[in-house]
Amino acid sequence: MNRRSFLQVAAATPLLAASEKVPAYRVVSPYAPSKDPGMPGPYRGKVVRVHSEQCIDAGSEAVNAEVVRNMISRGLCELTGDARERDAWARFISKDDVVGIKVNCSGAPNIMSTPEVVGDIARNLVAIGVPASNIYIYERFWNQLRSVHYERFVPAEVHIQAAEANRGSVLGYDPDAYVEVSFFGEEDTRSNLVRLASEKLTKIINVPNMKEHQASGVTGCLKNIAYGSFSNMDRSHRWEKTNTRTFIGTLAAVEPVRSKTVLHVMDGLRGVWHAGPFSRDRRFRFYPKQMMFGTDPVAMDRLLIDVIDGKRKAEGAPSVWDRSEKLLRMEGEPDPQFNRFLREPGHIEYAAGLGLGVYDIGRIDLRTIEL
């Protein structure tokens, strides 16, 4: 198939204030969209939230694997309407698929896609007939990924693979699928798609955390699948300025990422309410003790904003929506009264404008299960 090159600027421009300029993105990909793209998928605007006080002990951080297993089973069945867990998983994955589990390890070892959660996802995939050797747990950086030891929770045949075994390596990225844009006149203006996602995987399950992010406001489904699947990302935010408002959705909409990402399992056993996406200071870690399930990343991330902002309000910290320059402080220890960047939680609404899901809280069908 011939390479397709196109601009994704005009469609999203109405979501920005008149004074804001959309960077001149050039999206290049040889991959055609599927007839029914995974995002926003068959359950557009529908989110299932499962909460259990027993899923994790906040003191020891010990995870109750059996409770997690029940949370995943109940959540998936409520999402699809199936009585059997096996049938729910089979709506997204077939035994012939090569499945990627996109984890988030940027805050490891203090916060990451919980191994017990990832392990149960792999168990369910094997249960519906996917060979363990056709399952790939992946992330961008090997040093972060290896610190979590997912191999202790999944069959030995499951692959655990990073795009960059050594920081800065380009071998794990697809030279034919990329987004090109200059934000600050940087030398390298191209972000390439992870080669595993473009060339080998047929389906992707996205497993983000519930975290505040100093540049994007929050980091959930959209940011994990976008920034976690492309190279050369941190150039988008320098000094106090961040381009995350438009960059995240632009990346998430690139094919084949949009078509292949068929399910989001948001891991909210732990969370970070300030100084994210890392968790170097335990005082900024909290325990929502919940998980969210859906195919619509916009709807899930819209709900995530309320989780993070609710915790910030309880701690007396400014909202992630507060973009006042008086709150900026670039140096010194993290302080919840200050921030390094002018946050851009508006990236979620922008992504909705690209057709990735439902942003209007009044149109989100939220189902809540208490265990």
Q: Find the mean pLDDT for residues 299-307.
A: 98
Q: What is the CATH number of the domain that holds 229?
A: 3.40.50
Residue 28 domain flag: no
pLDDT in tens, 221-244: 999 999 999 999 989 988 899 999
| Residue 8 in this model has a pLDDT that exceeds 90 | no
Residue 54 inside a domain? The answer is: yes
pLDDT of residue 9: 34
The verdict on residue 363 lying in a domain is yes
User: What's the pLDDT at 134?
Assistant: 98
pLDDT at 140 > cutoff 60: yes
Note whether residue 35 is domain-resident.
Answer: no
Structural domain contains residue 20: no
Task: Return the exposure string of 265-297: e unless at least 16 CB atoms fall within 10 Å of the residue's CB, then b.
Answer: bbbbbbbbbbbbbbbeeeebbbbbbbbbbbbbb
Burial 313-332 (b: 16+ CB within 10 A, else e): eeeebbebeebeeebeeeee
Could you give the number of structural domains in the chain? 1
Q: What is the pLDDT of residue 332?
A: 87
Rg (CA), the chain: 19
Q: Tell whether 240 is covered by a domain.
A: yes
Q: What is the pLDDT of residue 87?
A: 98
pLDDT score at 289: 98
What is the largest distance, in Å, between two alpha-carbon atoms of the chain? 55
Query: What is the model's pTM?
Result: 0.94
Strand 173-180 and strand 26-29: the pairing is antiparallel
pLDDT in tens, 265-298: 999 999 999 999 999 899 999 999 999 999 999 9
pLDDT in tens, 58-95: 999 999 999 999 999 999 999 999 999 999 999 999 99
- Asked if 305 and 218 count as a contact pair (C-beta separation under 8 A), the reply is yes
Distance CA 166, CA 285 (A): 29
User: How many whole angstroms separate alpha carbon 92 and alpha carbon 81?
Assistant: 13
At 18, the pLDDT band (50, 70, 90 cuts) reads very low
Contacts of 63 by beta carbon, 8 Å cutoff, 6+ apart? 55, 56, 114, 115, 116, 269
Comparing 60-69, 209-218, 332-341, which segment has the lowest mean pLDDT? 332-341
Contacts of 35 (CB under 8 A, 6+ apart): none
Q: Of 173, 183, 93, which is closest to residue 140 (Cα–Cα)?
A: 173
With cut-offs at 50, 70 and 90, classify the pLDDT of residue 1: very low
Q: With the CA atoms of 79, 82, 86 and 88 taken in that order, what torsion angle do they form, in degrees rounded to the nearest 10?
A: -30
What pLDDT does residue 371 have? 97
So what's the pLDDT on residue 167?
87
| CA distances in angstroms from 154 to 66, 101, 132, listed in the order given | 15, 12, 9
Segment 99-119 mean pLDDT: 97
pLDDT at 5: 40
Q: 227 is written with which tokens? A: 């920034």
Q: What is the pLDDT of residues 39-49, one digit of tens each?
A: 999 999 999 99
What's the pLDDT at 21? 84
Instruction: Tell me whether residue 37 is in a domain.
Output: no
Average pLDDT over residues 166-180: 94
Domain membership of residue 9 (yes or no) is no
Show the domain range for 349.
43-174+192-370
